[in-house]
Amino acid sequence: AREIDIIQPPPATETIETLQALEPEGAIVEVLSGPVWEHLNFQFGPGRLERNPDSVNDNLNYRKAVAHAINKQLSVDEILAGQVEPLDSFVEAFSPTLSLGAWSQYDYNPDGASSFVDAAKADTGRDAIKTVFSTTSNNDARVKLSELFVDMFTAVGIEYENQLEDSQIFFGETLDNGRWDLGEWAWVGSPGFSGLISIFDVWDPEAPPPDGSNYYRWGTEDSSIIDADTARFAEIRDLLNSSVDQDVLIPLINEAENILADNVVLVPLYARLVTAAVWGDEIAGFKHNPTQASHTWNMEQWYRVDM
């Protein structure tokens, strides 16, 4: 209705499509991947057994099966109307030029996933593999994702169950106590080395909650996985925080990314959309910025062209 000239609305696909319908009338709509990135993750502490007594998160073949069972492109198409590409690494949300795309090795491959399920059964001596998925029930995108997972998991021979919770419970008792089996939530990326280096703290084996942020409990004292990779990752984390030399930092970032991907500690899914629209026949100088700087970052350069 031209009551406003510029908007950065919540990233609902219905809103995006409504704005894009105005493009023939002069609206300029730009949809970009934002700094908030969603990921699938495994709990490695003993609390997961309260959620799923049959959890086999400590088995690498099982985790690889999950990574190959997820159709990330379908998830993006269904949840974000195909407006962005799936993530091949969380590093993309911080510094795309540094990303190795380390999770690209896990393509959507139901047959391969089924083979890894069989290998996990052989490793664990189980006749069946079960996953219990938990996330926030009052986030429409995550609810939709949980529904999509039903067919993806059952198609590769994994028994699957959704146990979603209100966000206050999930981000309170569940997260703090590690009481989930397979989970999903988001972190916020920021440009530059500082934010990227800081995110590695959330997998630091030496920093479990409440003092640290390794809610996954990968490599912590009570973890089901403590090995050479968790020990090396702890070393890398310390080295990252002891230098400002890019020639030192970049190889360490690459090594840490590969360790997390090769061990399937998490599965990056997608970055949330950040949308902006402007009436281009009225306002010039507007440049969409999907980072935390937001869409008003250069507003001193905006000017009217219709007056």
The pTM for the full model equals: 0.89
Q: Which helix (H) or strand (E) holds 144?
A: helix 140-155
Which amino acid makes up residue 65?
A: A
Average of per-residue pLDDT across 24-52: 94
Q: What is the CA radius of gyration of the chain?
A: 21
Burial of residue 128, with CB atoms counted within 10 A of its CB: 0-12 exposed, 13-18 middle, 19 or more buried: exposed
Question: Which ranges in 184-282 belong to alpha helices (H)?
Answer: 193-199, 228-240, 246-262
- Predicted confidence band of residue 10 (pLDDT cuts 50, 70, 90): confident
Contacts of 294 (CB under 8 A, 6+ apart): 8
Q: How many whole angstroms separate alpha carbon 12 and alpha carbon 210?
A: 34
- Predicted confidence band of residue 15 (pLDDT cuts 50, 70, 90): confident
14 C-beta neighbours (distance < 10 Å), count: 8
pLDDT at 14: 82
DSSP letter (8 states) at residue 85: P
Q: For residue range 105-127, what is the model confidence (pLDDT) as tens digits?
A: 999 999 999 999 999 999 999 99
Q: For residue range 135-154, what is the model confidence (pLDDT) as tens digits?
A: 999 998 999 999 999 999 99
